[in-house]
Structure 1
Amino acid sequence: MKVSVIIPAAGQGKRMRTAKNKQFLLLDDRPIIAHTVDKFNIEEVDEIILVVKEEEQDYCHEIIEDYQLKVDQLVYGGKTRQESVYNGLQKVTAKSELVLIHDGARPLLTKRMIRNIIKEAKSHQAVITGVAVKDTIKVINHEQLVINTPDRSRLVAIQTPQAFKKDLILKAYTKASEEGYFGTDSASLVERLNRPVKVIEGSYQNLKVTTPEDLEFAEKILARRQR
């Protein structure tokens, strides 16, 4: 089964409080995106598509060359993450049967996690990673008043990578684009097609670097792994 990976990295650093794209910030003296892309350099992956801002393509080429990253295509992103992933999907090679989608700002995933989701996706059309919610979650209204408290045992915090059969995820994104619908993740678009989505165990270490505090945590996790 041919496997393609789409890594959207066309975001901004608003919550990071920096003008620089957060994917280009250094983690252990390497850009975050370099850590992320390098994890997918395994024999099970046939194609890596990196989705970037048009104005950042030259810098991305430099990173790819400097860190000898395996990237098969650079694709321009859209105004939103969803549009960026859709742009990437339309460039996936015709030979691919399975597509993984992973946040460029999640550099701490492991190759074991990637292999595990690929294995699960061979027998399921849609597979996503997640971890059990540790905190109590409250649903509130526009006045910040609690409406209800969901059963925490049935809640999962969803991460990436997420894996889908290519025809299914392309259909889901195309439908969302035609109807002007924007979901919070790729799986939510598949759910709109009434297709089952399987959740497998992710990792609490597989954090998305969004704030300065996240970057500090990522540094500590990486340092601990290298001991």
Structure 2
Amino acid sequence: MSSDTDHDASHGRHLPPAPSTGPSADGAGPAGAGARGMDEILKRETHSSRAVASIIAAVLVIVLCVYALLETAVRAIGQPPWLVDPLTAAEQVVALPNGVQPLLLGVTGAVFVMAGLFFFLNAVLPGRRARHLLPDRRAAVVVDDEVIASALARRARVAANLSQDQVMVTVSRQQVQVNVRPTSGVPLSPDAVRSAVQDELRDMHPSPTPDVRVNVSSAGVIGA
């Protein structure tokens, strides 16, 4: 989401052109390798990494396995448990919810549910970043949605003859939301605003191309 503020060029990412898709000089390079490499780069730029979630899951599994090994070794040599005896812990889990306060049980269950939901959503959701691809002959261009929203808001503001604070644009993968607060007593045509924003989108030609929706506030701005 972005208000109608200017953004510098650092929000757009110009990726280098893909290398030649033909075979290499030594005949080892397969045809189409460059295109596949560029597709991988674009996917990394437009999708969030699952590395953090994977590392967290791996660390948790390692810690649990090390702890279980430690407790098992301590039990095998006849020493008291380090934290809790594995057999006793298993019996307590089987006996749940007996012996556990309902509040503690509910809080523990909620923590486990949230943790499981976090890993589940990271696994099944596409994890797309707020970015669009723009066509270019020489390079692949990845632009933040904030930059696109700023350009569209400027175009809508000019078309409706409004001030900067009266237009707010948000850009998602599938939709452009244009929120307009008109000047009191001055007629405003939503179709003209929509047409101007659609023309700007056609000039940009972002991929994927979102639909445009214009919302005109019922409360006008006085003296804008």
TM bucket (normalised to shorter chain) is under 0.3
Higher helix share: 2
Question: TM-score normalized by structure 1?
Answer: 0.17
Higher strand share: 1
Report which of the two structures shows the higher radius of gyration computed on alpha carbons: 2
